[in-house]
């Protein structure tokens, strides 16, 4: 049977953060695993980095991007809406909510093929409390329609499944984690710096991280890499200077490709003190390189704690500082062993080929095939 899946999202650039990164890996896995009769196309709205970053989707034969009109929660793309109205796709897979992509799908829902929605953590309790009036507008006007009428929802983990049910969504839910590329060679020695990698946003716990660094008697170099989301970088720079951390906190900007690889290979650990996540790509990538990790339980990767691949911290300055003191007191050999356990966990549970094969079974089910075990 011929299957044509339209992957739909707001951004395929660095501004899409982990959603765009996971979409790149997923589509690569789908193209490699789909076989004869499977086609995968991509549609997204445009932002300031789209032209530069669309090369990351060169493996797809069709990548279509459309301009946005308006601002804030009322942004929309009439050209994307027209494209969806005329699509020949068998299935639509929407990545992310609250934006113009879900608005376009809602506008064409009456004639659309069955669709699957991956919220990517955007319906988690912390995320839902941010900008509540914007969420209410979007839910009432389009996101409620898109979510309630979806043939299937996608949760990255059991915690996200619970969040979907808490919102009253009764659709079938496919529980499938994010995947990650596994570098051929992990790090052989750990660096002296600690790395944060991700978009610079209040939910990432960066304010708390800087306050924690000020509590350490001899703080190591902290490299904060990522793109500025909503002007948060300037607030962080001011706080760094107020706390007199200029010599041990470095803002490196957004990092992709070889620059990101270099940061992982020069780091001694990754730290992610997030208040809310779906299932963070950056943790999986760090483990893939063999790095130990410090993270909160909001990252929804309890396997990392259970396997001894990560130290648990809370998104509070004293907890982050205590976690760092514990980590820095560990022998180097023990830190390397933590990273090795993380790499083993990625290899067995979070490879893109395995994730892509699970999504293929969901697409097949939406078109009349057998119900896969990942759907609850």
Per the prediction, the chain carries an average pLDDT of 93
Query: For the chain, how many helices (H) and strands (E)?
Result: 16, 13
Check residues 74 and 324 and name the one with the higher pLDDT.
324
Same-domain check for residues 242 and 174: no
pLDDT at 70: 80
CATH number of the CATH domain containing 336: 3.40.50.2000
d(C-alpha 246, C-alpha 269), whole Å: 20
Where is 287: in which H helix or E strand?
helix 281-288
Which has the minimum average pLDDT: 81-90, 294-303, 346-355?
346-355
Nearest alpha carbon to residue 194 among 286, 256, 257: 286
Give 47-99 pLDDT, tens digit per residue.
Answer: 999 999 999 999 998 999 999 998 766 788 999 999 999 999 999 999 999 99
Other beta carbons less than 10 A from residue 338's beta carbon: 25
Q: Are residues 10 and 132 in the same domain?
A: yes
Q: In what order do the strands lie in the sheet with 267-272?
A: 249-253, 222-225, 193-197, 267-272, 293-295, 310-312
CB 53, CB 65: distance < 8 Å: no
Q: When comparing pLDDT for 126 and 186, which is higher?
A: 186
Return the pLDDT at 73: 66
User: Does 168 share its domain with 269?
Assistant: no
Q: What is the pLDDT of residue 1?
A: 59
Question: Quick one: pLDDT band at residue 131, thresholds 50, 70, 90?
Answer: confident
Q: Classify residue 127: in a domain, yes or no.
A: yes
Q: Give the confidence band of 2 by pLDDT, cuts at 50, 70, 90.
A: confident
Same domain, 358 and 328: no
The band of 9, judged by pLDDT with boundaries at 50, 70 and 90, is very high
3-state class (DSSP) for residue 320: helix
Residues 56 and 113 placed together within one structural domain of the fold? yes
The total of structural domains in the chain comes to 2
Residue-wise pLDDT tens digits, 159-193: 899 999 999 999 999 999 999 988 999 998 999 99
Q: b or e along 271-294 (b: 16 or more beta carbons within 10 Å of the residue's beta carbon)?
A: bbbbbbbbbbbbbbbbbbbbbbbb
Query: Averaged over 23-32, what is the pLDDT?
Result: 94
Domain interval for residue 43: 3-179+351-366
SS3 220: coil
Q: Are residues 15 and 120 in the same domain?
A: yes
What are the structure tokens assigned to 228, written together?
């500025």
C-alpha distances out from residue 93 to 5, 113, 128, Å: 7, 10, 22
pTM score, whole prediction: 0.81
In this predicted structure, which of 115-119, 121-125, 296-300, 305-309 has the lowest mean pLDDT? 121-125
Residue 282 pLDDT > 90:
yes
| Cα–Cα dist 376/169, whole Å | 13
Is the pLDDT at 207 greater than 80, yes or no?
yes
Q: How far apart are CA 28 and CA 21, in angstroms?
A: 11
Residue 184 is assigned to a structural domain of this protein: no
Contacts of residue 206, defined as CB under 8 A and 6 or more positions apart, other chains included, come to 196, 200, 224, 232, 236, 273
Q: Can you tell me the mean pLDDT for 204-232?
A: 95
* Shared-domain flag, residues 172 and 248: no
Which residues, 6+ apart, have CB-to-CB distance to 144 below 8 Å?
Answer: none
Q: Which of 247, 241, 304, 240 is nearest to 272 (CA)?
A: 304
Looking at residue 110, its pLDDT comes to 93
Residue 230 falls inside a structural domain: yes
Both 111 and 217 in one domain: the answer is no
pLDDT, average across residues 128-144: 81
Q: Give the residues across from 95 on adjacent strands.
A: 9, 118
Give the residue-averaged pLDDT of 276-299.
94
According to DSSP, residue 54 is labeled G
pLDDT value at residue 15: 86
Distance CA 354, CA 348 (A): 9
Residue 187 in domain: no
Better-scored residue on pLDDT, 233 or 18: 233
Q: What percent of the chain has pLDDT over 90?
A: 79
CA distance 11 to 14: 8
């Amino acid at each position: 049977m011929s299957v044509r899946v339209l992957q739909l999202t707001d951004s395929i650039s660095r501004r899409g953060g982990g959603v765009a990164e996971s979409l790149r890996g997923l589509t690569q896995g789908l193209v490699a695993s789909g076989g004869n009769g499977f086609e995968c196309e991509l549609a997204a709205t445009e932002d300031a980095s789209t032209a530069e970053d669309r090369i990351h989707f060169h493996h797809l034969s069709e990548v279509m991007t459309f301009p946005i009109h308006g601002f804030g929660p009322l942004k929309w793309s009439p050209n994307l809406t027209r494209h969806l109205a005329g699509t020949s796709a068998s299935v639509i897979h929407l990545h992310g909510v609250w934006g113009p992509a879900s608005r376009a799908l809602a506008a064409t829902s009456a004639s659309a093929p069955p669709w699957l929605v991956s919220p990517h953590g955007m319906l988690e309790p912390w995320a839902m409390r941010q900008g509540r009036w914007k969420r209410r507008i979007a839910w009432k006007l389009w996101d409620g329609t898109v979510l309630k009428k979806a043939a299937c929802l996608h949760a990255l983990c059991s915690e996200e499944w619970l969040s979907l049910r808490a919102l009253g969504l009764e659709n079938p839910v496919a529980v499938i984690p994010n995947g990650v590329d596994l570098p051929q060679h992990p790090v052989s020695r750990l660096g002296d710096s600690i790395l944060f990698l991700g978009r610079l946003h209040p939910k990432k716990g960066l304010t708390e991280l800087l306050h924690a660094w000020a509590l350490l008697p001899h703080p190591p170099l902290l490299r904060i890499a990522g793109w500025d989301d909503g002007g948060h970088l300037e607030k962080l720079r001011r706080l760094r200077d107020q706390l007199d951390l200029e010599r041990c906190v470095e803002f490196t900007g957004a990092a992709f490709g070889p620059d990101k690889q270099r940061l992982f290979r020069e780091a001694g650990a990754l730290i992610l003190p997030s208040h809310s996540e779906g299932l963070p790509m950056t943790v999986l990538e760090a483990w893939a390189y063999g790095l130990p990790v410090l993270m909160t339980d909001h990252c929804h990767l309890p396997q990392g704690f259970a396997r001894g691949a990560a130290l648990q911290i809370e998104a509070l300055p004293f907890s982050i500082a205590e976690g760092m003191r514990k980590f820095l007191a560990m022998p180097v050999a023990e830190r390397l062993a933590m990273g090795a356990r993380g790499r083993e966990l990625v290899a067995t549970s979070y490879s893109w080929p395995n994730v892509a094969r699970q999504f293929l079974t969901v697409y097949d089910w939406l078109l009349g095939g057998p119900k896969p075990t990942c759907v609850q």
